[in-house]
Amino acid sequence: MRSLQPAQRRPRGGVLTLISALMISSAIIRLGLEAGPALARGPDPSELSAHSAGSDEKPDMQTLLTELLRREAAVKHRESALRDRERALEIANEAISTRLSALQEAEASLRETLAVADKAAENDLTRLTDVYQNMKPKDAAALFETMDPVFAAGFLSRMPPEAAAGVMAGLSPEAAYTISVVMAGRNANAPTE
């Protein structure tokens, strides 16, 4: 290893020392410029009289104690009001939970009732469809001729194709066409995806 020659050595802290000295001198100059006028002006006489008068009076301990007691009572009152609110919220939460449980039970009961009603309606439609398909096609066609086309299309779509074809053959061309249009358009608006 080569040792550095005195000419190649860097001065340590030269730049930092210079910057520090400039900052300190700047602070001294500013302090001198701002403090000088303030010291020359002197204290305000009204402040001196108020300060000397306040130093003669001692704080009234009774007033201080009364104020502390008043504040303590106010804090206790607020704490009591907060406890009352917490109790009211707890009671309200319990009532909400009870009502929510009752609503959930009512909803479950209603679902069961609707399921029973749907099953009964489905059983009735199945039974009636069986009656119509077991009739002679000519007799069934006479009934279907008087039915609303949407209603008739519902029964015909539930029948086996052979029985439905026999009933359709016995219908007037206008009634058969109307019922066919209803049956064909039933699922036209159903989503495909």
> What is the span of the domain harbouring residue 175?
135-185
Q: Is residue 41 part of a domain?
A: no
Rg (CA), the chain: 51
Q: What distance in Å separates the CA atoms of residue 156 and residue 183, rounded to the nearest whole number?
A: 9
pLDDT greater than 60 at residue 34 = yes
Q: What distance in Å separates the CA atoms of residue 70 and residue 76, rounded to the nearest whole number?
A: 10
Q: Given this model, what pLDDT does residue 71 score?
A: 93
Q: Is residue 89 part of a domain?
A: yes
User: Total domain count for the chain?
Assistant: 2
pLDDT band at 39 (very low <50, low <70, confident <90, very high): low
Q: Is residue 88 part of a domain?
A: yes
Q: What distance in Å separates the CA atoms of residue 190 and residue 193, rounded to the nearest whole number?
A: 9
pLDDT greater than 50 at residue 138 = yes
Q: Is residue 173 part of a domain?
A: yes
Based on the domain organization, do 102 and 146 belong to the same domain?
Answer: no
Q: Is residue 34 part of a domain?
A: no
Q: Is residue 74 part of a domain?
A: yes
Q: What distance in Å separates the CA atoms of residue 5 and residue 11, rounded to the nearest whole number?
A: 13
Based on the domain organization, do 102 and 141 belong to the same domain?
Answer: no
Q: Given this model, what pLDDT does residue 75 score?
A: 93
Q: Which residue has the higher pLDDT, 142 or 13?
A: 142
pLDDT greater than 80 at residue 169 = yes
DSSP characters over 38-58: HHHH---HHHHHHHHHHHHSP
Is residue 159 within 8 A of residue 167, CB to CB? The reply is yes
Query: DSSP state, 9?
Result: P
Q: What distance in Å separates the CA atoms of residue 128 and residue 132, rounded to the nearest whole number?
A: 6
Q: Which residue has the higher pLDDT, 190 or 60?
A: 60
Q: Is residue 78 part of a domain?
A: yes
Buried b (16+ CB within 10 A) or exposed e, 127-164: eebeebbebebeebbeebbebebeebbbbbebbeeebb
In this predicted structure, which of 23-27, 103-107, 177-181 has the lowest mean pLDDT? 23-27
Q: Which residue has the higher pLDDT, 158 or 31?
A: 158
pLDDT digits (tens, 9 = 90+) for 44-58: 555 555 455 444 455
Mean per-residue pLDDT of the chain: 82
